[in-house]
Chains A and B, each alone.
Chain A
Amino acid sequence: MRQAYDSWLCGWRVASDVALPDLMPWTGDNRPADLQIRVGSVPEHLPGAVQYGPLIQLGARAMCRFAVPGVATYLIENARTVTIAPDSDAGSAEVRVFLLGTVFGILCHQRGLLPLHASCVRIEDHAVAFCGPSGAGKSTLAAGFESQGYPILSDDVCVIDTAAPGGPVVWPSFPRIKLWRDAIDRFAFSTEGLERTRPTMEKYQVRTHRTFDIRPAPLAAVYYLRETREGEAEGISQMRGLTAVRDTCNSVYRRRLGRSLGSPEAMLSAVGSLCERIPILRLGRGRNFSKIPSMVKDIAGMHAGVCL
């Protein structure tokens, strides 16, 4: 059966039963779908599966079941098919949030790509990624770049092909930034018409389809963003050796799960090759994130006009 929606997700053609308005529409050739998304039932227990953590079962032949209580259960098969069993409306924002979160991360790991928990922006022809712990301000900084004319490649999950000829390349994921109410207010965005990630949460999905560019971009730098402590200097410093590898490892999206889906050695080697070829920098930001415009300007200045 032909599926109703034809979308683009980091270069994959996605055929889906449900509308995925977060993604770009497919504008490429007539190839068969790389990924199929269906609505259907998902078994309670995968045959022969092992329970991996409270919410995930891993079965034979790259089968993976992921349940978010009260939202949906997702079944991923062969890295090609996702079946969604929603608890309510399959097309709702909350069902898509976890599809484009953990499920997307699983697909990346299964397909041999390195997903970093990072926002990523395009500066001229290069990609610059921002990792950091929860609440460090990855999305807020991405919105700062977007508002000054630098399009985002990703908000949450930055997909890197570390084996690309010529060096690591970022595949743009989808044109959506999830922002909390305080960040929305900071950029004076209107929440009118914005979808909430969850019906009762003050967290919104900002679409950036207009500026999104689907061309992959060579990765120019990875910044590790965090709030400075009192008395600590803000700004950029280089990270080296094991510190860079350790922090990059910790920034791999769904890192533990990824090691179970692939091999720990493969992940370490992907991270190692990234750290060898790309500058890994620390970016300290002050409280309240008051200097976003000047940070954007400084970082853009560093990476503009640089030939790799």
Chain B
Amino acid sequence: MSGFYWLASYPKSGNTWLRLALRSLLTGGKPVGFDEEESWIPIASARDPFDSVMELESSDLTQEEIDCLRPMFYIEQARLAKQPLIRKVHDAWIRTRAGTPLFPPAVTRGAIYVVRDPRDVAVSYAHHACCSMDEAIAFLSDPNAAFASAKTYLTGQLRQTMLTWTGHVASWLNAPGIRVLAVRYEDMIAHPESTLAEVASFCGIDAGAELIEAATRATRFDVLQQTERDQGFREKPRGMKQFFRRGQAGGWRDSLSNEQANRIVSAHGETMRRLHYI
């Protein structure tokens, strides 16, 4: 059985960073070039693999129909693969209309859930989506928040239902019947090597201290910033100045007003306490 490791997170929580570190780890600690197509860890909601495995055009299906078929898609993809698969995920861990988990436990080897202080998430999301801080804060509290949900044109990705930030965190950390490793973005910054070692061990990747050190070095934030300056980063939305922007914890303090920060705490306080953010 191959099965999946879901590299899941709310958007702007360090998923890409960890994804690059894992990629370096899997390629012997090599630097990560942004223009190499191979060895890139893909997103679970990409449209073309779905169409290819399901043998139809998802562009002729409604978003609800696609959701209902996605569990079958993952089961089939796991069946076709010889090795465990790693997929980036921004969807919340939800059930389809038929009550089936979108990410079937039967083909889930484990989920690494990357979580970040929602005040920093809001600031990062505002830069990503080129919107105001207030709009970003509202997005984090929107129970209908979704990516690729356009209805009048075709998106390269399938719709991803995110729920609120709190809903997203709870959906993954409380997902029944699967192993979940919670990784705090702040710990990735403070203790990059031990955090990466923990992720590697969770995924069954045999990595010694030297390899962990090399992968950590290859994906230091300033190295990624330099690579982005040299090669560009293809997942950067148009209009956004730089994808690898600050890579800091607590940067919200000079970007959010007290009132804005309080609004986030009052909406997500319980989950923030659970994760020791307050």
Residues of A within 8 A of B (CB): 53-56, 66, 68-70, 94, 97-98, 101-102, 133-135, 156, 178, 180-183, 197-198, 200-203, 229-231, 254-257, 287
Instruction: Please state if A182 and B234 are interface contacts (CB–CB under 8 Å).
Output: no
Taken together as a complex, chains A and B put the C-alpha atoms of A160 and B73 apart, in Å, by 29
Q: Which residues of B contact A181 (CB under 8 A)?
A: 151-153
Q: Which residues of A contact B52 (CB under 8 A)?
A: 255-256
Chain B interface size, under 10 / 10 to 19 / 20 to 34 / 35 or more:
20 to 34
Residue of B nearest to A134 (CB): B47
Query: Can you report 25 A-B residue pairs in the complex whose CB atoms are below 8 A from each other?
Result: A54-B69, A54-B72, A55-B54, A55-B56, A69-B68, A69-B69, A94-B60, A97-B60, A98-B56, A101-B56, A101-B57, A102-B55, A134-B59, A134-B156, A135-B47, A178-B60, A180-B153, A181-B151, A197-B60, A202-B151, A230-B236, A230-B238, A254-B55, A256-B52, A256-B53
Instruction: Please state if A53 and B156 are interface contacts (CB–CB under 8 Å).
Output: no
Given contacts A54-B73, A70-B65, A230-B236, 16 further A-B contacts (CB under 8 A): A53-B76, A54-B76, A55-B55, A66-B55, A69-B68, A102-B56, A133-B48, A134-B58, A135-B47, A135-B154, A135-B156, A198-B61, A231-B232, A256-B52, A256-B55, A287-B238
Residue of A nearest to B72 (CB): A54
Residues of B within 8 A of A (CB): 47-48, 51-62, 65, 68-69, 72-73, 75-76, 151-156, 232, 234, 236, 238
Instruction: Please state if B151 and A54 are interface contacts (CB–CB under 8 Å).
Output: no
Instruction: Please state if B232 and A180 are interface contacts (CB–CB under 8 Å).
Output: no
Residue of B nearest to A97 (CB): B60
Q: Which residues of B contact A53 (CB under 8 A)?
A: 53-55, 76
Q: Which residues of B contact A102 (CB under 8 A)?
A: 55-57
Q: Which residues of A contact B234 (CB under 8 A)?
A: 229
Q: Which residues of A contact B72 (CB under 8 A)?
A: 54-55
CB distance from A64 to the nearest CB of B (A): 10
Q: Top 3 A-B pairs ranked by shortest CB distance?
A: A181-B152, A54-B72, A182-B153
Instruction: Please state if B55 and A201 are interface contacts (CB–CB under 8 Å).
Output: no
Instruction: Please state if A257 and B55 are interface contacts (CB–CB under 8 Å).
Output: yes
Taken together as a complex, chains A and B put the C-alpha atoms of A156 and B234 apart, in Å, by 27
CB distance from B37 to the nearest CB of A (A): 11
Instruction: Please state if A98 and B65 are interface contacts (CB–CB under 8 Å).
Output: no
Q: Compute the total of residue contacts between A and B using a CB distance below 8 Å.
A: 82
Taken together as a complex, chains A and B put the C-alpha atoms of A197 and B57 apart, in Å, by 12
Instruction: Please state if B232 and A69 are interface contacts (CB–CB under 8 Å).
Output: no
Instruction: Please state if A180 and B154 are interface contacts (CB–CB under 8 Å).
Output: yes
Taken together as a complex, chains A and B put the C-alpha atoms of A183 and B152 apart, in Å, by 8
Taken together as a complex, chains A and B put the C-alpha atoms of A197 and B56 apart, in Å, by 14
Q: Which residues of A contact B68 (CB under 8 A)?
A: 69
Q: Which residues of B contact A230 (CB under 8 A)?
A: 232, 236, 238
CB distance from A180 to the nearest CB of B (A): 5
Taken together as a complex, chains A and B put the C-alpha atoms of A169 and B218 apart, in Å, by 50
Contact A69-B56, Cβ < 8 Å, known A134-B48, A134-B156, A230-B236: no
Taken together as a complex, chains A and B put the C-alpha atoms of A58 and B106 apart, in Å, by 25
Taken together as a complex, chains A and B put the C-alpha atoms of A230 and B237 apart, in Å, by 9
CB distance from B232 to the nearest CB of A (A): 6
Taken together as a complex, chains A and B put the C-alpha atoms of A85 and B69 apart, in Å, by 20
Residue of A nearest to B155 (CB): A135
Q: Which residues of B contact A54 (CB under 8 A)?
A: 54, 69, 72-73, 75-76
Q: Which residues of B contact A56 (CB under 8 A)?
A: 55
Taken together as a complex, chains A and B put the C-alpha atoms of A55 and B61 apart, in Å, by 14
Q: Which residues of A contact B236 (CB under 8 A)?
A: 230
Contact A180-B152, Cβ < 8 Å, known A53-B76, A55-B55, A134-B51: yes
Instruction: Please state if A201 and B62 are interface contacts (CB–CB under 8 Å).
Output: yes
Instruction: Please state if B48 and A101 are interface contacts (CB–CB under 8 Å).
Output: no
CB distance from A308 to the nearest CB of B (A): 32
Taken together as a complex, chains A and B put the C-alpha atoms of A135 and B152 apart, in Å, by 12
